[in-house]
Structure 1
């Protein structure tokens, strides 16, 4: 592998471009010369090899003559899945433990090894099961993987999934989030010697050397490298072994394999019987989960530790403000019928900045047919409350539910993204897929539900994307279900590519351009700041006037944006009265504007590093200053920002001060800085009102 690394370095020094095609040729040539297995030289192994040499063999690494600039170029060549941090932030998704759910949706999977609606074969769930759903272990594993793939991990968005967040006890919620922060604060990244990609092959592609330390897999015997397993990870695994959830000899973390069951600490036969009963409709998911996990001494011993206070959480939050891995976004997932002002106060204290909410449909008859146990009125109220609290709103919308047609699906989605009662900031738009054990299986058997044909489905999704306004981002179009788990429905993991391919073909044929955000993102492209112009798009909601500020290229590509909310005085006063009657003080006041999101694109760089991406041209700061001007001109006296813990320092530098659940800035005359500054064109165009 050294030969490949040094050849890449030689070409980079010579100013040559080393793309994926050139890299593949280098790998194949090295495999032929060595006579070894070419898998040993795969791209995914090269960066871990480089990282190990740099960490453990400084003299060997020094001989390569790698400068900081050359290393950045090398990492760019070897980085796996660059899109993972193309938004400027590295994302870590974690899953909560199996727990009774307040919903009983007909389409939801009922895998007892996971929280409701999730399957053990989904990548995030598989990692969670291997980590016993422990947040510290999940973050450590993902942080390590991202680092070893070459991604900067200074700015982290944490996404907490697992059914309905508000169904879990508050002490568990607080502990879970505290442990997320603690893992980041502890820099719980496993050493290169623990990287499984370095196991199984020697450097020349031959069989592995016998001189491997059995106590530290991947570490060569006699190595003086530090323990590759973070101390916090070792301590937490020791705790779970003491609880009986990990086998005494288990090292790699595959709890299911260690226990010989779909869930660690539960008798395999008992688990299989319970799953069969749920699939047959003889037991509900909630009944089975309560029996299995509530009846397990091992899980109950672990649960005794899984609680924390808000004071303990806030200690970790303060640490994170200056940590190496800072939280720039925290997302939790819940149902609209569980959203209340009191619960949002708690969620905000946890540090959350975005809520994923299962809307699925805005039609009451469809909600009822699918046992959503939610009313359209509750959904409308949830949108209004989330917006007043400043949260970014990420709605889940499903097509092809029981009782829908392609025509009703198109109308339903258009209402979601056009009706002032809703208007999400992001949408997870995906088709219903039939999973064994879901109640929908019985409807499929009787013919009451059928999956759309591929052309029907793509037609609906294309229409939905075209209906999506410029301020909304369609984040996903499929669930991470494996094709083997899907009984009926879309099984193509590249569904989004098919949809976007159709949209591009239609665009070339003269159709209007797609306005949706993700379709327009610059992603990893470099931008010329002189070509950017600032657009302001206004739209109305039930409780506010919204302003979407976006930096765009002449072609309409988006380089950054800001969401500004101008709440109506009567809505803010009504919220204050409701909270006061419940014994709480409202965190917002009439006359306060709210910045709900600031996002600038470009491949994530490490804090303190300069780059050519849009993030490094001051675009975010200029968006904030323009938002302050707009709010002041509209008569607002103060502006709040729903900052993440790791961005508090950034906003303090922009003149905001800590104020309860938000950071606040006075908008009195002279406080808002001028938007214009040398070096960046500011050509503002008025947006369209909806």
Structure 2
């Protein structure tokens, strides 16, 4: 391994550039031929962890290699695994809450009793959660270690908390969960502290008798899962018994766990203040919820917890489709949820499903167009994916009697391509598939490269794509003088929005800002429930793209070039020109210091700057 690294460093020193994949592969293959064994001696994914281990644990030996900081940066670029993971400017870490009864019973939703409602234990993030007893601290530290070993900068972290409806969980658990997320980020600067705390937690869960190994969990849940799949028991009653949700069950390890899974707001706020200046900062915090759970009181609670974005299960805006699939939420309530979320400053991330019971490709296309164009909705982000048929769901009976069928691959690709083309420039389509294993899908799309197939279809059509993800500058680069500032204004039912974007040649996007200017009439009508006053505008998001750069470092591509500051100044000008006297920002905990430097002061749930 060491000889391979020296060969790679020699080539980097010769070219003064990161190695192309084919050049790296040639060096690795040549080394493996020298060693000549029955298996590969060197693999790319092992090289960077070997280098990191030598630097951390054998520093005197590592120094003999004579690696300069510039050479190390090029080496990391060369050996980085899955570079797309941080190409959008932040390191994303997804965690799951423990299983809990769900306030709904949708026809298409999986009923895996080992998971929160709608998730399956074979999904990658679910596997990580289960191995770590759904403990937020263990999930975050394990994931950040893995990303570090893959060569990713993890100074700026977006935390995504999945697990059904967040507000269904007890308030004490919600506070504790967030407390542990921030504790994990704060501890990551000290490997010894992380390992000591992690081992303490593992012992607690083991002593409580809670399993975390795949086979043990399969045996533990087998009988209960069979009853749910057969329809002899409900998901909710089964999960309530297995995890002692809200009740005391003698001998249940989750009862013991609940005793230490508590924290107070003062404890949480102390960790949040610390996170403002730690090595690993939270620059975004996302929770998953249902539109009918979105209320001013709950949104205020989410802001205290540090949240900045909401994922909401919309699925459809067709009342007939919603009723047929037992969604239990009307379109009027969905509109109210979007309005409340916008006025509180949250980014809105809508889940939208095609191919539900009663749907057609033509109807789905019209339904999606309504969501992205109607002033009541216009989400900032969308998860757009086809319904997957999973055993144990109510949809199985409709498949068997012929009242539901999966779209063909071509129908699905054509539909998703049409959806992409009508998506406006201020909306990002973050995903097109769920991470459901092929063996869990009874029928329908099983291709993990569905988005690639859609992109190929779009290339044939030669029509411009405006949605954000397709235009992200990612690994590209553009000089500041190549960028132009574009402003896209649009109306919602309760705000005037302006999407400011730095655009590079080829319509690539290098950064953007979401400015929201609430309608005075809406503020007056809801004044007692809102945390803002009339005359206050809101910055709902600032994002600069490019490979993640470390905090306080000159980064590559668009980050750390003043683009965010210029977006903020322009947003302040626009708000002032429209008669607003102050501007708020829904800052994440780890970005508070940045906004203070831009003239904002702490002001309750937000930071504010006078205009």
Whether TM-score is above 0.5 comes out as yes
Alpha-carbon distance, 1:3 to partner: 1.4
Q: Which runs of 4+ in 1 moved over 3 A?
A: 37-40, 254-257
- Partners of 1:91 and 1:601 lie apart in 2 by 14
- Partners of 1:401 and 1:655 lie apart in 2 by 48
Change (3 A) 1:37 1:77: farther
Alpha-carbon distance, 1:573 to partner: 1.9
Greater displacement, 27-36 / 96-105: 27-36
Change (3 A) 1:112 1:506: same
- Partners of 1:487 and 1:416 lie apart in 2 by 29
Alpha-carbon distance, 1:89 to partner: 0.3
- Partners of 1:486 and 1:526 lie apart in 2 by 40
How large is the RMSD of aligned CA atoms in angstroms?
Answer: 1.3
Residue 11 of structure 1 is matched in structure 2 by 11
Residue 28 of structure 1 is matched in structure 2 by 29
Residue 394 of structure 1 is matched in structure 2 by 349
Query: After superposition, what is the alpha-carbon deviation per residue over 1:386-443, rounded to whole angstroms, capped at 9, x for unaligned?
Result: 0000000000000000000000000000000000011000000000000111111111
Counterpart among 211, 219, 236 of residue 286 in structure 1: 236
Q: Does residue 1:83 correspond to 2:41, yes or no? A: no
Residue 519 of structure 2 is matched in structure 1 by 568
Alpha-carbon distance, 1:255 to partner: 3.3
- Partners of 2:506 and 2:96 lie apart in 1 by 39
Q: Does the 8 Å CA contact 1:140/1:189 hold for their aligned counterparts?
A: no
Q: Does the 8 Å CA contact 2:107/2:325 hold for their aligned counterparts?
A: yes
Residue 225 of structure 2 is matched in structure 1 by 275
Query: After superposition, what is the alpha-carbon deviation per residue over 1:481-539, rounded to whole angstroms, capped at 9, x for unaligned?
Result: 011111011000000001011112221xxx3x101111111011111211100000100
Q: Does residue 1:587 correspond to 2:531, yes or no? A: yes
- Partners of 1:612 and 1:127 lie apart in 2 by 31
Q: Does residue 1:373 correspond to 2:328, yes or no? A: yes
Alpha-carbon distance, 1:358 to partner: 0.3
- Partners of 1:316 and 1:466 lie apart in 2 by 43
Change (3 A) 1:311 1:611: same
Residue 204 of structure 2 is matched in structure 1 by 239
Query: After superposition, what is the alpha-carbon deviation per residue over 1:652-678, rounded to whole angstroms, capped at 9, x for unaligned?
Result: 0000000000000000xxxxxxxxxxx
Q: Does the 8 Å CA contact 1:160/1:333 hold for their aligned counterparts?
A: yes
Alpha-carbon distance, 1:228 to partner: 9.7
Residue 208 of structure 1 is matched in structure 2 by none
Residue 599 of structure 1 is matched in structure 2 by 543
Alpha-carbon distance, 1:22 to partner: 1.3
Q: What is the correspondence of 1:131-280 to structure 2 with a 5 Å cutoff?
A: 131-187=132-188, 230-245=195-210, 254-257=212-215, 260-262=216-218, 268=219, 271-280=221-230
Alpha-carbon distance, 1:283 to partner: 1.1
Alpha-carbon distance, 1:261 to partner: 2.6
Q: Does the 8 Å CA contact 2:275/2:590 hold for their aligned counterparts?
A: yes
Q: Does the 8 Å CA contact 2:600/2:609 hold for their aligned counterparts?
A: yes
Residue 431 of structure 1 is matched in structure 2 by 386
Greater displacement, 606-615 / 400-409: 606-615
Residue 502 of structure 1 is matched in structure 2 by 457
Q: Does residue 1:627 correspond to 2:600, yes or no? A: no
TM-score (norm 2): 0.97
Alpha-carbon distance, 1:543 to partner: 0.2
SS in 1 for 2:599: coil
Q: Does the 8 Å CA contact 1:451/1:489 hold for their aligned counterparts?
A: yes
SS in 1 for 2:243: helix
Residue 671 of structure 1 is matched in structure 2 by none
SS in 2 for 1:490: coil
Q: Does the 8 Å CA contact 2:497/2:517 hold for their aligned counterparts?
A: yes
Counterpart among 401, 404, 414 of residue 446 in structure 1: 401
Q: Does residue 1:489 correspond to 2:490, yes or no? A: no
Which runs of 5 or more residues in structure 2 are unaligned?
none
SS in 1 for 2:560: helix
- Partners of 1:81 and 1:392 lie apart in 2 by 27
TM-score (norm 1): 0.86
Q: Does the 8 Å CA contact 2:282/2:588 hold for their aligned counterparts?
A: yes
Q: Does the 8 Å CA contact 1:27/1:38 hold for their aligned counterparts?
A: no
Q: Does the 8 Å CA contact 2:116/2:163 hold for their aligned counterparts?
A: yes
- Partners of 2:38 and 2:337 lie apart in 1 by 56
- Partners of 1:154 and 1:161 lie apart in 2 by 22
- Partners of 1:372 and 1:42 lie apart in 2 by 48
SS in 1 for 2:523: helix
Q: What is the correspondence of 1:284-433 to structure 2 with a 5 Å cutoff?
A: 284-294=234-244, 295=249, 297-433=252-388
- Partners of 1:554 and 1:437 lie apart in 2 by 50
- Partners of 1:131 and 1:60 lie apart in 2 by 35
Q: Does the 8 Å CA contact 1:153/1:325 hold for their aligned counterparts?
A: yes
- Partners of 1:234 and 1:125 lie apart in 2 by 21
Aligned length: 605
SS in 2 for 1:156: strand
